[in-house]
Amino acid sequence: MVQLMKRRKSEEAASGSPDAQPVDSRTSLIGAIPIPPGDPLETVLVSSGGPVELKDLELESETLQALRSAGVELIVPLIGQGELIGALYLGSRLSDQPYSTDDRRLLGNLASQVAPAMRVAQLVHEQQVEAKERERIQQELQVAALIQQTLLPKELPAIPGWHVDAFYRPARAVGGDFYDFISLQDGRLGVVIGDVTDKGVPAALVMATCRSMLRAASQRHDSPSAVLADVNEALVPEIPPAMFVTCLYAIIDTEAGEVVFANAGHNLPYLRHDDGVKELRATGMPLGLMPGMSYDEVRYQMSSGEVMVLTSDGITEAHNVEGEMYGFPRLMDRVSRQPSDDYMCTALIDDLESFTGSELEQEDDITLVVVRRISSAQAAASAFEGSSQVLARFAVASEEGNERLAIERVAAVIGDLGLVTSRLERLKTAVGETVMNAIEHGNDNRPELDVDVEVRSTPTSVSVRISDQGGHRFIPEAERPDIEAKLAGEQTPRGWGLFLIEQMVDEVRSDSDGDSHTVELVMNREGDS
Amino acid sequence: MEDGFQATVTRTEAGTVINMTGTVNRSAKEGLESAYEEATGSQGRVLLDFRDVDYINSTGIAVIVGVLAMARAANREVGAFGLTEHYREVFNITRLADFMTIYDDETAAVTAG
């Protein structure tokens, strides 16, 4: 709201303020006196139809008193669409004469012309404020995503006789899902899956705290229930009000095949065995709610071929366009129908996606951890084949700029593999360009379509597989761009992407199956440049 | 990661420097081209300062090619400094480096003028 007030020059001189220096302009901007919503003065001004003299007013209004004290004699309301959007405050005339009818008409006309412009300016300002707020929220979400992605495991555990797989895909609003693998003494493996209530940066910070506490407690205690009880005690005084963490912690004796776990209010794990699937039931309160909690501890002897599936509620509580929930029964059924192989994770995510369809935005983070005890025959075959290990699987939405999320995630995953910096940078550029192509050309910039990324390593190479939904499209061969023709204006300056991809990595493979198109970038781990 | 792009133009005795900040992708086109036009208000070469650029992709390379095309048409020399080793390699592979002088740093760029 704008309030302008014309003060008498003699008053300015009397005030002795620096503003009272002789100046040509006799108009000065004085401290604003806002008219609060609901003040009776507002009603009078809205219905006045023109300038209002304060001496005519008798109202119970503190604003009116303040205006009188400030020497205001006349208020010219600025009305837009029936609302008071501003007001001009005027003191007495310099001539000490009362405001004439002509003065009032002139001011009324001025107000009627200023008001629409004021309204436009206000709307522009409001839009700018909203845009800034949207930008702030977007930045906050990026920070939250970065915290989560930095703290998630950079590679999957490679344990003889076991196959461990994981899938994590954050929702746009970034929930608080996390999972972790912790190496323990005697070759045992700690497996964590958890979910912090709330979203965004607060959830990401609690997730980071909880993850550290779990890692520390897992080194102090051999018992999962003791670990959860310990973390609960540490978390209660730290966690913000109305937040808590559901968490399941399992310790796997990878030699003997025994799994011991405790559960703090998280989804129960499923165990797929030869005769079907069952829940492994252990109960306990979520972490961070109240002190002094104890947790059930359950032991299970996993046989060869059995698969344990840990999930977050982003899977079971996902909805389809009809509003139906995916739910536990469907999950249980899909787990039971999947053979004991390496593709449980992929099969469950595919089933979830076929249920939800591609029209709806993902509601919550989706996290899946699968642990399979390999049959001795498969273990032998796997040992013979060696080598390729999935380090990470994730997806980015098809929105411009998301190639950088993929670059950061891939870089974090392969950071410890010892690629020399120049080769790492080249792979990052190739990943960025390939994901850009997938977003733009494969998925037509449709945000509801994912670009899937899988990072694998072998003892000699790193490969990044990038898949989009454009399997039916013709992919042109990469040609060396003719820079002379581009500089001469004979060719478009664009067309560098495919060329760069081929130049950056040691090998590029591509494959289409009619639905999806996959490009695999291979970088040898040895090499100086 | 820094999104967005900004370009500011500074005139020096050694030429006009366009300092770029942020991401050089297709969104940088307008900013870089208007900075180039501003830079060509003065005589002499134009130096692209990449020190504060954290990411260049193929669409950004296209934008740089567009500016180089304008410079060639006007017979104006273009130089660059502040590129990381990786982006120097990219500029070599794409042959951008054949059409602009790449300097090791600002001092080398200014001294060469």
Q: Decide if A437 contacts A365 (C-beta within 8 A).
A: no
Reported as a pLDDT band with limits 50, 70 and 90, residue B42 is: confident
Sign of CA dihedral A360, A363, A365, A369: negative
Whether A13 and A106 map to the same domain: the answer is yes
A422–B89 CB contact, under 8 Å: yes
User: What is residue A424's predicted lDDT score, i.e. its pLDDT?
Assistant: 94
CATH of the domain at A25: 3.30.450
Whether A121 and A175 map to the same domain: the answer is no
Whether A97 and A172 map to the same domain: the answer is no
User: What is residue A178's predicted lDDT score, i.e. its pLDDT?
Assistant: 92
Report the domain count for chain A.
3
Distance, in Å, from the CA atom of A203 to the CA atom of B58, rounded to the nearest integer, reads 36
Interface test mutation site (partner A, options B26, B58, B67, B100, max chain A beta carbons within 10 A)? B58
A494–B1 CB contact, under 8 Å: no
> For residue A287, how many other CB atoms are within 10 A of its CB?
29
Q: How far is A301 from chain B (nearest CA, A)?
A: 46
The residue in chain B having the minimum alpha-carbon distance to the alpha carbon of residue A490 is: B69
Which residue range(s) make up the domain with B40?
A: 5-112
Q: How far is A453 from chain B (nearest CA, A)?
A: 19
Q: Which among B69, B86, B93 is the nearest to A422, CB-wise? A: B86
User: What is residue A18's predicted lDDT score, i.e. its pLDDT?
Assistant: 38
Whether A121 and A246 map to the same domain: the answer is no
Which residue range(s) make up the domain with A507?
A: 387-529
**Closest Cα partner for A438 from A379, A378, A512?**
A512
Whether A68 and A28 map to the same domain: the answer is yes
A487–B96 CB contact, under 8 Å: no
Chain B contact set for A426 (CB, 8 A) = 86, 89
Q: Which ranges of A415-510 would DSSP assign to H, the alpha helix? A: 421-437, 483-487, 497-504
CA distances to A62, A149, A422, A480 from A59, rounded to whole Å, are 9, 61, 77, 81
A500–B69 CB contact, under 8 Å: no
Sign of CA dihedral A383, A389, A390, A391: positive
Chain B contact set for A408 (CB, 8 A) = 1
- Of the residues A339, A370, A398, which one is the last residue of a structural domain? A339
Chain B contact set for A499 (CB, 8 A) = 94
Distance, in Å, from the CA atom of A375 to the CA atom of A306, rounded to the nearest integer, reads 9
Q: Decide if A104 contacts A50 (C-beta within 8 A).
A: yes
Whether A412 and A330 map to the same domain: the answer is no
CA distances to A45, A67, A74, A107, A114 from A35, rounded to whole Å, are 10, 10, 15, 20, 19
CATH of the domain at B104: 3.30.750.24
CATH of the domain at A247: 3.60.40.10
B99–A499 CB contact, under 8 Å: no
Whether A248 and A315 map to the same domain: the answer is yes
Q: Decide if A177 contacts A365 (C-beta within 8 A).
A: yes
Q: Decide if A55 contacts A47 (C-beta within 8 A).
A: no
Instruction: Tell me the average confidence (pLDDT) per consecutive run of 10 residues in chain A, 529 residues long.
Output: 38 37 43 84 89 88 89 90 88 84 89 87 90 85 79 85 89 82 91 90 89 94 96 94 94 93 95 90 94 94 92 91 91 88 86 85 88 71 59 90 93 86 94 95 91 89 91 67 88 88 90 81 79
- Of the residues A277, A308, A339, which one is the last residue of a structural domain? A339
Q: Decide if A291 contacts A236 (C-beta within 8 A).
A: yes
The amino acid sitting at A184 is: L
- Specify if A232 maps to a domain: yes
pTM: 0.48
Chain A contact set for B84 (CB, 8 A) = 425
Report the domain count for chain B.
1
- Specify if A348 maps to a domain: no
Chain B residues within 8 Å of chain A (Cβ atoms)? 1, 3, 25, 55, 57-59, 61-63, 65-66, 68-69, 72-73, 84-86, 89-90, 93-96, 98-99
| Residue A334 burial (C-beta neighbours within 10 Å; 0-12, 13-18, 19+) | buried
B69–A503 CB contact, under 8 Å: no
Distance, in Å, from the CA atom of A151 to the CA atom of A215, rounded to the nearest integer, reads 12
| Residue A238 burial (C-beta neighbours within 10 Å; 0-12, 13-18, 19+) | exposed
User: What is residue A141's predicted lDDT score, i.e. its pLDDT?
Assistant: 79
Q: Decide if A409 contacts A393 (C-beta within 8 A).
A: no
Q: How far is A365 from chain B (nearest CA, A)?
A: 22
- Specify if A146 maps to a domain: no
Q: How far is A434 from chain B (nearest CA, A)?
A: 11
User: What is residue B14's predicted lDDT score, i.e. its pLDDT?
Assistant: 82
A487–B61 CB contact, under 8 Å: no
User: What is residue A16's predicted lDDT score, i.e. its pLDDT?
Assistant: 36
Q: Which ranges of A186-296 would DSSP assign to H, the alpha helix? A: 200-220, 224-235
Chain B contact set for A488 (CB, 8 A) = 69, 72
Distance, in Å, from the CA atom of B78 to the CA atom of B75, rounded to the nearest integer, reads 10
Angle, helices A101-151 vs A403-414, to 10°: value is 30
User: What is residue A378's predicted lDDT score, i.e. its pLDDT?
Assistant: 57
Chain A contact set for B95 (CB, 8 A) = 483
Q: How far is B48 from chain A (nearest CA, A)?
A: 17
Chain B contact set for A404 (CB, 8 A) = 1, 55
B62–A494 CB contact, under 8 Å: yes
**Closest Cα partner for A454 from A491, A513, A414, A494?**
A414
> For residue A54, how many other CB atoms are within 10 A of its CB?
17
- Of the residues A304, A324, A339, which one is the last residue of a structural domain? A339
3-state SS class at A97: coil
Reported as a pLDDT band with limits 50, 70 and 90, residue B84 is: very high
Whether A299 and A164 map to the same domain: the answer is yes
Whether A504 and A422 map to the same domain: the answer is yes
A494–B58 CB contact, under 8 Å: yes
Q: Decide if A522 contacts A461 (C-beta within 8 A).
A: yes
- Specify if A113 maps to a domain: yes
Cβ contacts from A onto B, under 8 A: 65
B69–A489 CB contact, under 8 Å: yes
3-state SS class at B14: coil
Listing from the earlier edge strand, what are the strands of the sheet with A83-90?
A3-6, A83-90, A74-80, A52-53
CATH of the domain at A394: 3.30.565.10
